[in-house]
Chains A and B, each alone.
Chain A
Amino acid sequence: MTESTLTGKSMDAGGTGETMIELTGVEKWFGDFQALKGIDLVVGKKETVVVCGPSGSGKSTLIRCINRLEVHNRGRIVVDGTELSDDVRDIQAIRRETGMVFQSFNLFPHLTILENITLAPRQVRRKPKKEAEQTAMDLLTRVKIPDQANKFPGQLSGGQQQRAAIARALAMEPKVMLFDEPTSALDPEMIKEVLDTMEQLADSGMTMVCVTHEMGFARAVADRVVFMADGAIVEVNDPETLFTSPQEQRTQLFLSQILVHPS
């Protein structure tokens, strides 16, 4: 595959064709170590992009740059028309529009599930308590754990916690959802309930960037799959093509490994 076709695939917005996230030439260093080596990627509105690749390839770093949990050193990141800069207002604006779900859930253990979900809408969006709680209950119903509302995170199973974390992110009514290996800390029987929630979310037209190695999920939901290695995008394609006839050797190697040892 030539340079130009790769760029073409990664820079073609999927979904509705309009651009939601645009990364151009994004580089990130941790000290002397370059974790991202010039990432170009466009994510279209209502598109679901799955990012996969070997450990340490920079997947987390990539999506953490999108909401400024990491600061990129070079290149441009534009989310819904706002460019990330050092301006705190731009950062806050982008974070308000971007929900994030973490591998380790990161629910606030000192607050109930309901408080976890209503916190940001009340504090950031200044929603009245009643309204925020109403929305929270609707979301909890959507992720199928309405009866856990008044428990503390520690009293829930991993799968329930992750669905609560998804509800918490959704409560801010974000335009983009970022997922960083949302199922890799879960027992196998809980993975499905979280993937179902994510699939349902993608079907509802949410723009999503998911770091995951769940092939089934990628096949069913992703518009495009991005394969990364060593801080660079190696290959971008629709899931069927990428999984069945990968063009690059790196991709083939990686796929053969995870098919032997599914993660």
Chain B
Amino acid sequence: MTTTDPATRTSEPAATPPSGGPTGMAWVRENLFPDVWNSLLTLTLGPLLAWGVYALGRFLFVTGRWEIITVNLTTLMVGRFPRDQLFRLWIAIAILAVVIGLALGVANSVARAAAVESGDDYHRPWHEPIRRFGPPVTLLIVMGVFVRTATPLLLLAAALGLAAVAYRLGRMIPIRRRGQVNLVVILGVIGAQLAITGFDGVPRSVWGGLLLTIYFTVGALLFAFPLGVAVALGRRSSLPVVRGTCMVYIEFFRGMPLVVLLFTGWLVLPFFLPPQFPTPDIVTRAMVILVLFTSAYVAEIVRGGLQGLPRGQREAAQALGLSPWKQTRLIILPQALRSVIPALVGQAISLFKDTTLVLAVGLTELLQVARIIPGQEDFRGQGLFAETLIFVSLIYWVGSYWMSRESQRLEAKLGVGER
């Protein structure tokens, strides 16, 4: 205890500060056996838990036949992606490392400047980066265990190095140029895709594994987010036609199971397109469906945020003479979006996990690879599903957990509900 209420201090001068909590036996008694019922619970659950940990540990470290992951690591990462074209993927990763590093660097200097301006003491505890990047780094280490040659590790290290350099650079960019940095990031994302598909590259139809999962997640988010915001605004438009259209849109896509929509895009859509119109490939169709589906949820979330704002905010903006669009863009949206960050991140996590459903339309994303490889000639009939499923589960879990942690951090930083 560092601070004591002066009142208590004067009234109870002899009071000793509580120690750091009970120790040893006292702790056990207080937390595990406080009364009959809790003791019973401890006695039942304790052994069960211990047995579970033992069984899992034994499987992970003794009986598990992890060579199936070692052999198929590349397949899990990229599916049927031609192995002689993998260099394109590394180029894409390098591009992304640079733009993400840049963006994080700029975001950091913006946060710093804001903190300095509002008089807050901006300092990050030394362990913050470790806590932030702990989960993905753990995942990388796990993957490192399964890597057979040093090349991918070296290339990954190089990409991380690039990102670090870009981060430093980003922090040196003046804040007023951050608009241009956003543009660079968008160009980088497009460039990364072009590096893979362009210049006689690898069409998306043979992408697979984690690559396809990430592609769907990031791509669908990039489009679904602005679309969802637009639909949410349209939902509150004063024009009945716009309002009605947006309402039907939201209710339709929220009312359909994603799998049904994916099947529709796969099997039914081609019949509705005019014959001379080239049918887009299946990856595009799945992407469009994911975007439409997610944007309907984003729209509902954003609408909630819009409704939660006090009426006075728009009135104050009106009274100042701001145009309706500027009222929305500068006053309403920033506050509405801030207040729904947790729900939006939740939607992103859902999307990340829902991309598994594209296996229903014949795409080999991460989960599908995990289902296929135990049937390979070398492993057929040996039932190695647990190994592959545990491995991909870890990837999904780390991805989801990381997103939710980052959202909590963002929330705390923006002080949702305080300012």
Asked if A pairs with B, the answer is yes
Could you list which residues of chain A lie within 8 angstroms of chain B, going by C-beta atoms? 67-69, 92, 95-96, 98-100, 102, 104, 106-110, 112, 119-120, 123-124, 150-155, 168-169, 172
- Decide if A123 touches B322 in the complex (CB within 8 Å): yes
**C-alpha spacing A112/B319, complex, angstroms:** 19
Which of A102, A106, A153, A154 has most chain B Cβ within 10 Å? A106
Using an 8 Å CB-CB cutoff, how does the interface string of B367-410 with A read, 1 for contact, 0 for none? 00000000000000000000000000000000000000000000
Number of interface residues of B (CB under 8 A): 23
Given A109-B335, A123-B330, CB of A102 within 8 Å of CB of B323: no
Given contacts A69-B315, A108-B316, A112-B118, whether A96 and B321 have CB atoms under 8 Å apart is yes
Checking A95, A106, A151 against B313 with a beta-carbon cut-off of 8 angstroms, the contacting residue is: A106
List of B residues within 8 angstroms of A102 by Cβ = 312, 315-316
Q: Across the interface, do A120 and B321 meet the contact criterion of CB distance under 8 Å? A: yes
CB distance from A137 to the nearest CB of B (A): 14
Residues of A within 8 A of B315 (CB): 69, 102, 106
Which residues of the partner chain B approach A168 to less than 8 Å between Cβ atoms? 320
B312 touches A110 (CB 8 A): no
Interface, chain B (partner A; CB < 8 A): 117-119, 310, 312-313, 315-323, 326, 330-331, 334-335, 338, 418-419
Q: Which of B118, B310, B321, B418 contacts A95 (CB 8 A)?
A: B321
Closest-CB distance, A64 to chain B (whole angstroms)? 8
B326 smallest CB distance to A (angstroms): 6
25 residue pairs of the A-B complex, CB under 8 angstroms, read: A68-B318, A92-B321, A95-B318, A95-B319, A96-B321, A99-B319, A100-B319, A102-B315, A106-B316, A108-B313, A108-B331, A109-B335, A112-B117, A119-B320, A120-B320, A123-B330, A124-B321, A150-B117, A150-B118, A152-B118, A152-B419, A153-B419, A168-B320, A169-B319, A169-B320
With A123-B330, A150-B118, A152-B118 as known contacts, state yes or no: A98 contacts B319, CB within 8 Å: yes
Nearest Cβ on chain B to A185's Cβ, whole angstroms: 11
Are B326 and A123 in touch, CB under 8 angstroms? yes
Q: Once the chains are docked, how many angstroms separate the CA of A248 from the CA of B316? A: 36
Q: Could you tell me the distance between the alpha carbons of A108 and B331 in the complex, rounded to whole angstroms? A: 7
* Known contacts A102-B312, A112-B118, A123-B330: A172-B318 contact under CB 8 Å: no
Give the nearest-CB partner of B313 in chain A: A106
Chain A contacts of B117 at CB under 8 A?
A: 112, 150
**The 6 nearest A-B residue pairs measured at CB:** A106-B316, A106-B312, A120-B320, A100-B319, A95-B321, A96-B321
Which residues of chain B are near A104, meaning CB under 8 Å?
Answer: 310, 312
Q: When chains A and B are docked, how far (Å) is the Cα of A96 from the Cα of B310?
A: 23
Residues of B within 8 A of A119 (CB): 320, 322, 330
Chain B residues with Cβ under 8 A from A92's Cβ?
321, 323
A102-B315, A104-B312, A106-B316 in contact; A124/B118 too (CB < 8 A)? Answer: no
The residues of A that contact B321 with a CB separation of less than 8 Å are 92, 95-96, 120, 124, 172
Find chain A residues with CB under 8 A from B419 CB.
109-110, 152-154
Q: How far is the CB of A154 from the nearest CB of chain B, in Å?
A: 5
Alpha-carbon gap, A69 to B327, bound state (A): 14
- Among A99, A100, A110, A150, point to the contact of B338 (Cβ < 8 A): A110
* Cα–Cα distance between A98 and B315 once the two chains are bound (Å): 13
Nearest CB on A from B115, distance (A): 11
State A168–B321 Cα separation when bound (angstroms).
Answer: 12
Chain A residues positioned under 8 Å from B119 (CB to CB): 150-151
- Since A95-B318, A120-B322, A124-B321 are in contact, a sample of 4 more A-B pairs with Cβ atoms closer than 8 Å, ordered by chain A residue number, is A150-B119, A151-B118, A154-B419, A155-B118
Complex CA distance for A172 and B318, rounded to whole angstroms: 13
Chain A residue contacts of B319, Cβ below 8 A = 67, 69, 95, 98-100, 169
- Residues of chain B within 8 A (CB-CB) of A68 are 318
Bound: A68/B338 CA distance, A: 29
Pick from A69, A110, A151, A152: contact of B335, CB under 8 Å? A110
A108 CA to B315 CA, complexed, in Å: 11
Closest B residue to A152 using CB positions: B419
Residues of B within 8 A of A112 (CB): 117-118
B338: A residues at CB distance < 8 A: 110
Whether A124 and B320, one on each chain, are in contact in the complex, defined by CB atoms closer than 8 angstroms, is yes
Across the interface, name the chain B residue whose C-beta is closest to A67. B319
Complexed CA–CA distance, A124 and B310 (Å): 23
> What residues of chain A lie closer than 8 Å to B322, measured between beta carbons?
119-120, 123-124
Could you tell me if B326 and A110 are in contact, using CB atoms closer than 8 angstroms? no
How far, in whole Å, are A42 and B311 apart by their CA atoms in the complex? 29
Measured between C-beta atoms, what is the minimum distance from B271 to chain A in Å? 46
Across the interface, name the chain B residue whose C-beta is closest to A114: B117
> Bound state CA distance, A152 and B310, in angstroms?
17
Q: Smallest CB–CB gap between B309 and chain A, Å?
A: 10
Chain B residues near A124 (CB, 8 Å)? Answer: 320-323
B337 to chain A, nearest CB (A): 10
| Chain B residue nearest in CB terms to A124 | B321
A151→B418 CA distance, assembly (Å)? 13
* B302 shortest CB reach to chain A, Å: 16
Cβ contacts under 8 Å, B310 to chain A: 104, 106
**Which residues of the partner chain B approach A67 to less than 8 Å between Cβ atoms?**
318-319
Closest Cβ–Cβ distance, residue A69 to chain B (whole Å): 5
Most B-side CB within 10 Å, residue of A69, A96, A172: A69
Nearest chain A CB to B87 CB, angstrom units:
45
Give Cα distance in the complex from A80 to B281, angstroms: 62
In the assembled complex, how far is the CB of residue B275 from the closest CB belonging to chain A, in whole angstroms?
46
CB nearest neighbor in A for B118: A150
